[in-house]
Structure 1
Amino acid sequence: MSIANIVVTLEKLEKMHKSLLELALAKTEYIKQGDMEKLDQLIKNEQSHVAAINTIEQQRQVMVTDYLRAKGIALTDTPSVADVITAAENSESTEKLVSVRERLIALLNQLKMQNDLNQKLVMNSLQFINITLDAIRPQQTEQFNYSGAQIRGNNEVAKRSFNDFKA
């Protein structure tokens, strides 16, 4: 396994994450507009992107594991690209690997910030909906008798005052 193959795989991951970031940006607009149909379609598209990213990530892990084993490096946890960078000897391929890794990390940070923003927008929308529903719903008034038990049913006796009764 060569570093060039790992670089190609990381570039695929970078391309897929860029596409995912574009979807996250579009999602922000749909949330702001309240366009649920487009948002639903976008989420389905986003799920297919995530599935493809998971597949590529599994390939990357296998490649990194194979590379490190070929170098005779004992693996303790899930091997990372940083482990490959430390084990690599060729400076040119290492520079490419470092460059792609840094771009991918920056892209992941952007994606995380955009997803955080989308989550906050959705939460604000839900809070607004709850406040609106609370304002529209009639307030329930609970009636209690002298013992503190709630009166059940729609009983006329419960609605009368003490002065309404005749001796």
Structure 2
Amino acid sequence: MKHLKLKSLALLITVSFAISSCTSTRTALFDQYSYEKTIELKVEATKLMSKATTPYNSHKEEVETLLLNIEKLVEYEKNKPNNEITFEMWKVLNDKEKNLLSAFFKRWETKGTLSPVFLDASKKQVLDALDLLIQYESKKDNESRDALLELINLNT
């Protein structure tokens, strides 16, 4: 009887540790909507960024629409449970003071037009960040999480 109680206690302790460790490292499950919207916004951003060698005023409405759609997705991501990493990355992308998407559009607005060299470098940086976000959303694995966290940390 004593042996059975010890086994039960050991099992209870093991299950408790497993549950507590899982709750501390929770990650939001795959979300088809987030995945599709991120891809959609990447395609739209790529197309719009490519126009930055032309006057900003000619594309102001397109930029504002894209930024509004990003704000909507940020709000969606903010309210998903266990979604801190994705939410933080969207905040970085949407921050006009960082060196990613919204900051690119702010600079384009300020300068009027951007040089092809600056455009190419910025576009690569933004698209790499969006690719990491897409990978993380599709895989939800440690490798893609760590890559995304590294990028977030570099930009905070």
TM-score (norm 1): 0.33
Larger Rg: 1
TM-score (norm 2): 0.35
